[in-house]
Structure 1
Amino acid sequence: MAKIRHVLGISGGKDSAALALYLRRLYPDLEIDYYTSDTGRELDETYALIERLKSALGKDITEIKPIEENNTNAESNFDHFLELYGGYLPSSMARWCTKKLKLEPFENYIGNEPTISYVGIRGDEDREGYISKKSNVQSIFPFRENIWSEDVIKKILSNQNIDQLVLLYERAMEVKELEEALHYISKPINTSYTQKQKLEALLRIGVKTFNQVVFQFLKTTDYPIGKLNSFPLIENEDIIRLDDVFQILEESGVGAPGYYNKLDYEVEIDGENKKGVYARSRSGCFFCFYQQKIEWVWLLEQHPQLFEKAKTYEIDGYTWMQEETLEELSQPERVIAIKKEHYLRTHREQSKSDNNWQDDILAAEGVGCASCFI
């Protein structure tokens, strides 16, 4: 068997932590290297989760360096690159922080070794996550029904590979089962029969069979998994969703990241004092520009020193939010207005859903960088 490296990035978020625990429990023989890339501007709760995870895994988590040691006098890795960008703060339109502090360090860490990268995109998410452009790196998504990345699916389901796909299914299935399956397998993708529809049909025929077919197909390519004699995840049919992630974390003793703990706040609504709850919806830097307004208020009240630090970055017209500065947001009347809006919005949503705590997280996950928040 070829020497293939297995890696899993730990962001300090719930999903990557749960994935590490899940794979450790189900596939203890997989020699996975865990790594993290520290921006130097994470929440204390993030660092605490990583320490608990190290203990539970019984294995160290390598910190990969965005910059070489003794190569900067800046306070943190983030500050080093902020200086290089002339104080220009990252934003949703210019995410240099993800590129310089997460993606490029990962690419350098991997080098040219054939590598399988395990990514914690869940079965209830509709996003792909970061796919390395390096040909020696292959991403796998163990929490999803479809564990394969979009590039692999596009290749195997390509119309030009229909004959190969039919042959692989003939080898993988009994004749009596194959007849019905061939209707979907041999049907070309077009405007009325999309790649997504074909994928869903093949998964319905059988997840394990589809995985076995993909595995055999990859043996005809240069993908890292194709260099393996066997790959245990092709037998897995689990679909891990948000509540499963929290269950994995709790049962392991690692627990959820502390920033998910719902805390009370009070606000006056129509002359009555009301109690709402707030928390942070994801991992990432404490000043992440993807934060909601109520999360900035949470930071102001729960980590006032970090909030003040975030304010110091807002200079020369560079601000974390387009419409207001942190100084403006921190004014008492503005804090009250944000809490009031949050209270009214969440209580409207609670009347429509029994799983509001999940809805908040799922909504937040639809925006942002998978490399930072998984």
Structure 2
Amino acid sequence: MTKVRHLLGISGGKDSSALAIYLNDLYPQLTIEYYSCDTGKELEETYTLVDNLQAYLGKKIDLLQAAENSHLDPFDHFLQVYGGFLPSSVTRWCTKKLKLDPFEKFVGDDLVISYVGIRDDENREGYISKKSNIQTIFPYRKNIWSEDVIQKVLQNSTKDIIAKFYEEEGILDSIKLERALKIVTTNVSPEFDRDRKLDSLLKVSIKAFNHVVFRFIKEFTNYPLSYLDKEDFPLLNNEDGLVREDVFRILRESGVGVPAYYEKREFEVDGKKGYYSRSRSGCYFCFFQQKIEWVWLYEQHPQLFAKAIEYEKEGYTWMQDERLEELAAEERRTQIKRDAIARASRQKKDSPYLLDLLDDAEGEGCAACFI
């Protein structure tokens, strides 16, 4: 039988960490390899989380580093290669060089199923490798399949095949089968697009849809999953659909704990109280940070903020509209805090974590870094 590797990347954030715990506890029969791409610029809490996870899982988490023979940290090595040109939301060389390249080197030409921690309450796809030997699965979601798989399965040209599979799998009772077949045989159109068709089929039965997709993969594709049997992939029967609240619950109940940088800290401006923290994992100088997170870094980790300033040379800055030296001014920090308090009051959420107050925080950034 052809060997297929099961891989899960640990970013140091809540979602990937909880996913490792979730899969370990629910599917101990899966032999999962864990890895983390170390940029050399992570917060110390990230390494603490990796240590806690290793203790819980009883397995080593491989630390992958780009430019492993360099005398510099991976980030500093490639910053030198790029002549001091800082990465940005437009030119994300850090993602490719520090995350994707080490991951794909780790994979090589092996057949791989990569488990990614994008939740059921998020509307994003995440990193999908262009290498045909890597297939991405999203265990938190009701739809565990990547967009490329869904496109193949729900083509109008395949509807008869999919209908046949629904009938032959024998999972649904007669009433649900009739509903599923009606949906399957309806063409995708502007009035009934692929997303709506997918959602309709999942509402009939997630389990039945998964089994049909798996059979399609086995018979008509060369995805890594096509080399496995049903009993080798127990997620076919999973119908959970996990959201943010579940992720925090898993981390707390396991004893691994929520990464400390998510915990909000109180500040006061004009007699009003506000809170700040980090909303994401990743490098301490990540250019996707919001202004209030930079203020958090300045006040909670001044030595790291000072290091981040040192990178701003020859016109290169972490933010397009402001240098860190300008943001560090007391008047500017006070205004950013005022803005954060005003924004939080509009959200009207009672949460111990900043990311619950900044709804768009998780929708930004590189999926390869933050999952």
| TM-score normalised per structure 2 | 0.96
Aligned to 1:194: 193
In structure 2, the gaps of 5 or more residues are none
1:65-104 matched pairs, under 5 angstroms:
65-69=65-69, 72-74=70-72, 76-104=73-101
1:296-315 matched pairs, under 5 angstroms:
296-315=294-313
Cα deviation for residue 154 of structure 1 reads 0.4
Aligned to 1:118: 115
Cα deviation for residue 355 of structure 1 reads 5.5
Cα deviation for residue 361 of structure 1 reads 5.2
Distance 1:176 1:342 in 2: 54
The amino acid that maps onto 2:23 is L
The amino acid that maps onto 2:109 is N
User: Counterpart of 1:62 in 2: which secondary structure?
Assistant: strand
Correspondent of 2:347 among 346, 349, 354: 349
User: Counterpart of 1:219 in 2: which secondary structure?
Assistant: helix
Aligned to 1:265: 267
> What do the CA deviations read for 1:263-308 (whole angstroms, capped 9, x no partner)?
111212xxxx222111110101000011111110100010000000
> What do the CA deviations read for 1:5-40 (whole angstroms, capped 9, x no partner)?
000000000000000000000000100000011000
274-283 vs 134-143, which moves further: 274-283
Distance 2:196 2:240 in 1: 21
Distance 2:30 2:148 in 1: 24
Residues 1:307 and 1:321: Cα distance change in structure 2 (over 3 Å): same
Distance 2:279 2:351 in 1: 15
Distance 1:180 1:258 in 2: 47
Distance 1:329 1:126 in 2: 32
Distance 1:144 1:360 in 2: 23
Aligned to 2:332: 334
Cα deviation for residue 191 of structure 1 reads 1.3
Aligned to 2:62: 62
Alignment check: 8 A CA contact 1:24 1:57 kept:
yes
Residues 1:261 and 1:206: Cα distance change in structure 2 (over 3 Å): same
Aligned to 2:31: 31
Distance 1:13 1:361 in 2: 16
Aligned to 1:172: 169
Cα deviation for residue 66 of structure 1 reads 1.1
Question: Which runs of 4 or more aligned residues in structure 1 lie more than 6 Å from their structure 2 counterparts after TM superposition?
Answer: none
Alignment of 1:9 onto 2:37: no
| TM-score normalised per structure 1 | 0.95
Alignment length, in residue pairs?
Answer: 365
Cα deviation for residue 175 of structure 1 reads 7.2
Cα deviation for residue 349 of structure 1 reads 2.0
Correspondent of 2:132 among 131, 135, 140: 135
Alignment check: 8 A CA contact 1:143 1:238 kept:
yes
The amino acid that maps onto 2:80 is E
User: Counterpart of 2:125 in 1: which secondary structure?
Assistant: coil
The Cα RMSD (Å) is 1.4
Distance 1:13 1:193 in 2: 37
Distance 2:60 2:194 in 1: 40
Alignment check: 8 A CA contact 1:279 1:295 kept:
yes
In structure 1, the gaps of 5 or more residues are none
Aligned to 2:22: 22
